[in-house]
Structure 1
Amino acid sequence: MGVARQPSLAANPYLVSFGELGNKVMLDENGPDALGFTQSMFMLTDGVRQCSAYSYIRPVKDRKNVFVLRHTCAIKILFNKKKRAVAVEAYRNNQKYVFKASKEIILCTGVFKTPQLLMLSGIGHKKHLESFNIKTVSDLPVGDNMQDHLAVSIIHRMDKSIVDPVVPLPTIIPFPVITGTVIIGLIFGKDTPYLLLACAVLFGYKPEICDSFNKQALGFYTFLTMLHPEPTGKVRLNTANPFDHPDITTGYYKNRSDLDKMVTFMKDYLRVGNTTFFTKVKGSFIDPGFVECKKYTFGSDEFLRCYILHATVSVYHSTSTCPMGSVVDSRLRVYKVSKLRVVDASVMPTIPSGNPNAAVIMIAEKASDMIKEDAHKFPSCKELKKDCVIADLPVGDNWQDHQAISVVHRTDKSIVDPVVPLPNIIPFPVVNGLVSLNKTKPYGEYQVFGLVIGKDTPYLLLACAIVFGYKPEICDSFNNQVLGSNSFYTLLTMLYPDSKGKIRLKSADPLDDPEITTDFYKKTSDLDKMVVFMRDYLRLSNTTFFTQVNASFIDPGFVECKNYTLGSDEFLRIFYMQQSVFIIRRVLVLWGVSSIVV
Structure 2
Amino acid sequence: MMFFLHYIIFTITSLIVFMFSSYLNFTYFFDMYKQWYFNDINDFQLYDFIIVGAGTAGATLTARLAKDGYKILLLEAGGAAPPFSDIPLLAPLIQNTPYDWQYITVPQQNACKGLKNNQSKWPMGKIFGGTGKLNYMLYVRGHPLDYDWFPNLIEPIKRNDDTMHINDLKWNTGLADIILKGLQELNQDIGNINDNFKNGFMKAQLFMENGKRWSTDKLLYKYLKNKLTIITHAHVEKVLMESNRAIGVQFIALNKTFKAIAKRDVILCAGAIGTPKILMLSGIGPKKHLEDLKINVIKDLPVGQHLVDHVLTGIDLVMLNTSTSFSMTSTLSPMSVLNYFLFGKGPWTFTGVEVLGTFHSSMQKNRSSTPDLQIMVMPLGLSRDNGVVLKEAMGISDEVYNEYFAPNSHKNTITIAPVLLHPKSEGQIKLRSNNSFELPLIDPKYFSNKDDIETLIDGLQFIKKLVETNAMKSIGAYIYKKHFPGCENETFDSIKYWECYIQYLTLTSYHPAGTCRMGDVVDQMFKVYGTKNLYVVDASVLPFLPSGNINAAIIMLAEKAAHIIKQNTKVHVNYTKCSKSYNYYYIFNH
Q: TM class by shorter-chain length?
A: 0.5 to 0.7
Question: Is the CA contact (8 Å cut-off) linking 1:203 and 1:315 kept in structure 2?
Answer: no
For the pair shown, the structure with the greater C-alpha radius of gyration is 1
Equivalent-residue separation in structure 1 for 2:575 and 2:270 (angstroms): 35
Show structure 1 runs of 4+ deviating over 4 A: 189-192, 195-198, 378-383
Question: Is the CA contact (8 Å cut-off) linking 1:209 and 1:288 kept in structure 2?
Answer: no
Equivalent-residue separation in structure 2 for 1:230 and 1:99 (angstroms): 40
Q: Equivalent residue for 1:580? A: none
Unmatched segments (≥5 aa) in structure 1: 387-598
1:16 partnered with 2:208? no
Equivalent-residue separation in structure 1 for 2:544 and 2:357 (angstroms): 21
Instruction: Give the deviation of 1:329 after TM superposition.
Output: 1.2
SS at match of 1:360: helix
The 3 A distance-change label for structure 1 pair 351 and 190 is closer
Question: Is the CA contact (8 Å cut-off) linking 2:204 and 2:354 kept in structure 1?
Answer: yes
Which of 212, 215, 218 is the aligned partner of 2:407?
Answer: 215
Q: Equivalent residue for 1:234? A: 428
| TM-score normalised according to structure 1 size | 0.60
- Within a 5 Å distance, the mapping from 1:61-460 to structure 2 comes to 61=224, 63-81=225-243, 83-155=244-316, 156-163=318-325, 165=327, 166-167=330-331, 168-169=336-337, 170=340, 171=344, 172-173=349-350, 177-181=354-358, 182-188=374-380, 193=385, 196=387, 199-211=390-402, 212-216=404-408, 217-287=411-481, 289-377=483-571, 379=573, 384=578
Equivalent-residue separation in structure 1 for 2:422 and 2:406 (angstroms): 30
Equivalent-residue separation in structure 2 for 1:220 and 1:25 (angstroms): 21
Question: Is the CA contact (8 Å cut-off) linking 1:154 and 1:285 kept in structure 2?
Answer: no
SS at match of 2:520: coil
Q: Given residue 204 of structure 1, which amino acid in structure 2 is its aligned partner? A: G
The 3 A distance-change label for structure 1 pair 214 and 173 is farther
| TM-score normalised according to structure 2 size | 0.61
Equivalent-residue separation in structure 2 for 1:260 and 1:116 (angstroms): 33
Equivalent-residue separation in structure 1 for 2:175 and 2:266 (angstroms): 49
Question: Is the CA contact (8 Å cut-off) linking 1:293 and 1:303 kept in structure 2?
Answer: yes
Instruction: Give the deviation of 1:255 after TM superposition.
Output: 1.2
Q: Given residue 262 of structure 1, which amino acid in structure 2 is its aligned partner? A: L
Equivalent-residue separation in structure 2 for 1:140 and 1:175 (angstroms): 40
Q: Given residue 354 of structure 2, which amino acid in structure 1 is its aligned partner? A: V
The 3 A distance-change label for structure 1 pair 197 and 275 is farther
SS at match of 2:448: coil
- Per-residue displacement from partner, 1:87-132 (whole Å, max 9, x unpaired)? 2111123321111222111111110110011011010111111111
- Per-residue displacement from partner, 1:239-292 (whole Å, max 9, x unpaired)? 111111111111211012221222222123212221113333332222564332
1:42 partnered with 2:236? no
Q: What's the Cα RMSD here?
A: 2.4
- Per-residue displacement from partner, 1:365-410 (whole Å, max 9, x unpaired)? 1222222222222547677469xxxxxxxxxxxxxxxxxxxxxxxx
Equivalent-residue separation in structure 1 for 2:381 and 2:291 (angstroms): 56
Q: Equivalent residue for 1:30? A: 194
Unmatched segments (≥5 aa) in structure 2: 1-163, 359-373, 581-590
The 3 A distance-change label for structure 1 pair 280 and 93 is same
Equivalent-residue separation in structure 2 for 1:203 and 1:18 (angstroms): 28
Equivalent-residue separation in structure 1 for 2:575 and 2:258 (angstroms): 35
Equivalent-residue separation in structure 2 for 1:119 and 1:188 (angstroms): 41
Q: Given residue 104 of structure 1, which amino acid in structure 2 is its aligned partner? A: D
The 3 A distance-change label for structure 1 pair 197 and 40 is farther
Equivalent-residue separation in structure 1 for 2:381 and 2:498 (angstroms): 27
- Per-residue displacement from partner, 1:303-344 (whole Å, max 9, x unpaired)? 111100000111111111101111111111111110111111
Equivalent-residue separation in structure 1 for 2:539 and 2:216 (angstroms): 14
The structure where helix makes up a greater share of residues is: 2
The 3 A distance-change label for structure 1 pair 176 and 383 is closer
Q: Given residue 187 of structure 1, which amino acid in structure 2 is its aligned partner? A: P
Equivalent-residue separation in structure 2 for 1:134 and 1:254 (angstroms): 30
The 3 A distance-change label for structure 1 pair 346 and 218 is same
Question: Is the CA contact (8 Å cut-off) linking 1:108 and 1:343 kept in structure 2?
Answer: yes
